[in-house]
Amino acid sequence: MSSRTTMPWPLVALFTAGYLAPYLLPTTVGRLNAGLPLSATEAGCVGSVLLLSSATAGFLLASRVDRFGPRRLARAGLLLAAVGYGTAALTTTLALVVGGAVVGGLGSGTITTVAATGIAAERDPHRTTTFGLLGVSALAGTLYLTIPHLGPGHGQPLAAIAVTALLVLPATRRLPTRAPAARTPRARTPLPHLRAGAVLAAAMLCWSLAQNSLWGVSGRIGLTQAGLSEVTVGAVFAAALGAGLLGVIGAGALGPRLGRALPIGAGTALIAGCIALSAAADDLPSFATGEIAWNTLYPVVLSYVIGLAASLDQRGRWAVLVGSASSLGTACGPLTGSLLSTWTGYPGMGVILALGLLLLTVPMTAVALRTRRGTPHEHSVVEIPLETVAARRAAYGTAGPRQTAAASAAPGPGPG
């Protein structure tokens, strides 16, 4: 069966486990604020530290997955996530909570690095990314419906991430222990499409910063500005992520038919409007409309951006670097959102973020147009050792007239 029809489920599972922490960011930050002696800005800082740790792991491991081996690295990341988030969930000591968040973030970044590297090597990385987004959206939506009913406290979302890491651990048995030999000769090749990749990475840092500046304070907007209960806000988030599932399914069905430039450019412009609407929400209809529309579009655009990054380098280095830049922007989001909302209020923050996203459509669309035909996969060179036997020169004649002359001088067939 071809790799186009066989889904790499271990990579999908790793993608889900690695991206769960950013998806649960609003409830994580909100519960840190409510369950520990932390202000809203301080809780946002803890969320930023967690995500910054994840981004750091991605930058450090971007070109080292082949060296350590996908299986070993994935297991190490999952164990770090389980230990770090588990520790942060089980204690109320601030130093241990922050330390656990840092360790857990390192684990999440390691997991997503292995997943991104493996997905980039697939023949259809957009399809695998789509299934990964489906998995993490479905799981996060279920948790948003479940966590409000588990009682107060800061530990529930952190514990959910830790348990997910442990559940994914058995799937690593199907990952390769080390990189295929065909990739080894190319281990030191320079990054292709350097300018396009750098522009995409810088744009994704700002793109994710804008998204998560709102996402990090969405819970507080619903609770304080819109006057909703935690159960209602959780239901809105679950519905939004459910709508995101539909968007991802649509993106998967559409595939590359529209190219990448249109979904990325137009999708980002529409997201800007959704962010402005959600940030200005003061009741349930406007809050739900903004969040649902935004979360429908966000994974669609993200899947095309990840596919674009993967097309720049088959070995997955640009996919990891762009993903790490996105994680860095994600890490700065909660703190940025807290500061902007303190200075300008939630509606003013939404306007600023929307304008920034509209500006980002230009470089992101330009990169997508430049690489619209895709980057052909590198042809791996496999050396096959062959046993050779030294040839005796006398066993072969010569070509040309000299051979003809020799043949005519030799005795021909006939009576002796």
Query: Band of the pLDDT at 404, cuts 50, 70, 90?
Result: very low
Q: Based on C-alpha coordinates, what's the Rg of the chain?
A: 27
Query: What are the tens digits of pLDDT across the range 9-44?
Result: 899 999 999 999 988 988 898 889 888 888 877 888
Query: What are the tens digits of pLDDT across the range 163-184?
Result: 999 999 999 988 887 655 434 4
Q: Tell me how far apart the alpha carbons of residues 268 and 379 are, in angstroms, rounded to a whole number.
A: 34
Query: What are the tens digits of pLDDT across the range 85-106?
Result: 999 999 989 999 999 999 999 9
State the average pLDDT over residues 113-139: 84
CB neighbours (10 Å) of residue 34? 16
Query: What are the tens digits of pLDDT across the range 217-226?
Result: 888 899 889 8
Residue 305 has pLDDT above 50, yes or no: yes
Q: What is the pLDDT of residue 397?
A: 53
Q: Choose the most confident range, by mean pLDDT, from 32-46, 110-124, 201-215.
A: 201-215
Query: What are the tens digits of pLDDT across the range 260-285?
Result: 888 999 999 999 999 999 999 999 99
Residue 194: partners with Cβ closer than 8 Å, 6 or more residues away: none
Q: Choose the most confident range, by mean pLDDT, from 60-69, 284-293, 315-324, 379-388.
A: 284-293
Considering only CA atoms, which of 51, 19, 45, 50 is closest in space to residue 33? 45
**What superfamily would CATH give domain 9-179+193-370?**
MFS general substrate transporter like domains (1.20.1250.20)
Query: Band of the pLDDT at 388, cuts 50, 70, 90?
Result: very low
Q: What percent of the chain has pLDDT over 90?
A: 33
